[in-house]
Amino acid sequence: MVYKLHENGAYNIHTIKTDRFKNIKMEIFFRNNIDVKTIHKRTVLFDMLVETSKNYKTKRDIALALEELYNATCYASSIKVGNEVISSISMDFLNPKYTKDFDIEEAIKLPFDLIFHPDVSNEEFNQLTLETIKTRVISDIKCLAENPKKMALLNALKAFDSSSVSSINITGTEDDINAITPSNLYDVYKEILEHDYIDIFIIGDFDDTKVSAIISKYAKFSTIKNHPIEMNVANKTRSKVKEVTEKSNFSQAQIVYILNANKLSDEERKYAFMIYNMILGGGSLETKLYQNLRDKNSLCYNVNSMYQKYDNLELISTAVDNNNIKLTCKLINETIKEMERKVSEDEVKRAVSSIISSINMSLDSPAQIIDMYLFKYMGSIDEIDERIAKFKKITKEDVIKIARKVSINTVYILKGGEKDGEN
């Protein structure tokens, strides 16, 4: 794989040349600090941009254009990464060397056509298309409310600190979506084109000079980037654990623990804490939480921990019967404390091996390779060889040191089998 950065003033082009894949993947990233007032509009906007445009009046028109490009695909997404929101439009298409009548320029041109020629009149997006997108997003929001685990995690983060960007659901609420208008959505569109950091990644087997020239021909961005982007969130800690219990009509109780990762060095954040998380509950069926809650006590079907690296948080989540809530919380507390004194070399080796395996497997996916280079460019991860070498150096002492930098902030319980009210 050969990576090159092509600086282009208002934006950058990143080419990743490899012959490992039959397809070429291009991803146009738009990055900025989270604006809590507009983030839900942003997710709707990017769905709008790949739905219709001035030159493709219907979703079917776009589908036909993609079909002519040998069933290429074009789609949008938005994610929250700590204090940063990253939106992207992706284009996946066949490598021209596998067919005689494929024009790579037409494939590269399409997503830029959608971005720069949206279905807008008098600085307003098409009302009918917007209503279609809003209906779809609201349906997704309602489905989310029917998922006990996801609902508990969202509620727990709100209980943890409703003013923190870590508690934001980028999709917003039904009221948020209903309040979006064709004109205020266009305001967000203009703001993004004027001030977002833009990076274009393309991976595949191609002439990087030719491809970057084609991209430059159509990527007519003129953004002004005079502000810093900060991914890491400095979340508040508590001297006393906050406990919140609410009621639901789900069949089981959902338990969520939110832990602060305190005063981590950059190296600890990138390496030792990831091993800590794998041993605690983020790895295989041999994690401490799984052994203590399921294997030894049969309290739950599953339990896992999630490291929110850029939020400096660790989340623990499980579902149990209402009558087992107290015992489950007792065992979670004991497991967290156990990490401070009882970590074996075998546990560290298994966790390191699992992470290295995941890193190597990521090289089989164009999307994951692009993500790897994006985050490396943003300064949040190191080169693959360096990462693997540093993970191999992690010891049980390093993990125990991390465990002593962790503190429980919030315990959230969504009781099952009950409706309304809260304690």
Question: Which residues contact residue 260 at a Cβ distance below 8 angstroms, ignoring those fewer than 6 apart?
Answer: 235, 237, 238, 312, 313, 314, 406, 407, 409
Residue 419 confidence (pLDDT): 53
Note the pLDDT of residue 418.
64
Tell me the β-bridge partners of 319: 254
- What's the CA gap between 69 and 55, in Å, rounded? 16
Torsion of CA 241, 308, 357, 24, to 10 degrees: 160
Superfamily of domain 2-218: Metalloenzyme, LuxS/M16 peptidase-like (3.30.830.10)
- DSSP category for residue 422: B
Specify the CATH number of the domain 242-415. 3.30.830.10
**How far apart are alpha carbons 28 and 34 in whole angstroms?**
18
Give 130-136's long-range contacts (Cβ < 8 A, gap of 24+): 130/44, 130/48, 130/180, 130/182, 130/185, 132/51, 133/44, 133/47, 133/48, 133/51, 134/44, 134/177, 134/178, 134/180, 136/47
DSSP H helical ranges for 270-344? 273-277, 288-290, 325-338
3-state secondary structure of 135: helix
pLDDT at 423: 37
Report pTM. Answer: 0.94
pLDDT at residue number 421: 42
- What SS3 class is residue 242? strand
Q: Which of 315, 320, 329 is nearest to 282 (CA)?
A: 315
Distances from the Cα of 42 to the Cαs of 27, 67, 181, in angstroms? 17, 28, 12
Per-residue model confidence as pLDDT tens for the chain (423 residues): 999 999 998 999 999 999 999 999 999 999 999 999 999 999 999 999 999 999 999 999 999 999 999 999 999 999 999 999 999 999 999 998 888 888 899 999 999 999 999 999 999 999 999 999 999 999 999 999 899 999 999 999 999 999 999 999 999 999 999 999 999 999 999 999 999 999 999 999 999 999 999 999 999 999 988 899 999 999 999 999 999 999 999 999 999 999 999 999 999 999 999 999 999 999 887 899 999 999 999 999 999 999 999 999 999 999 999 999 999 999 999 999 999 999 999 999 999 999 999 999 999 999 999 999 999 999 989 999 999 999 999 999 999 999 999 999 999 999 998 654 433
Q: Are 235 and 312 in contact (CB under 8 A)?
A: yes
Residue reference for tokens 């942003």: 42
| pLDDT for position 265 | 95
Residues of the chain with CATH 3.30.830.10: 2-218, 242-415
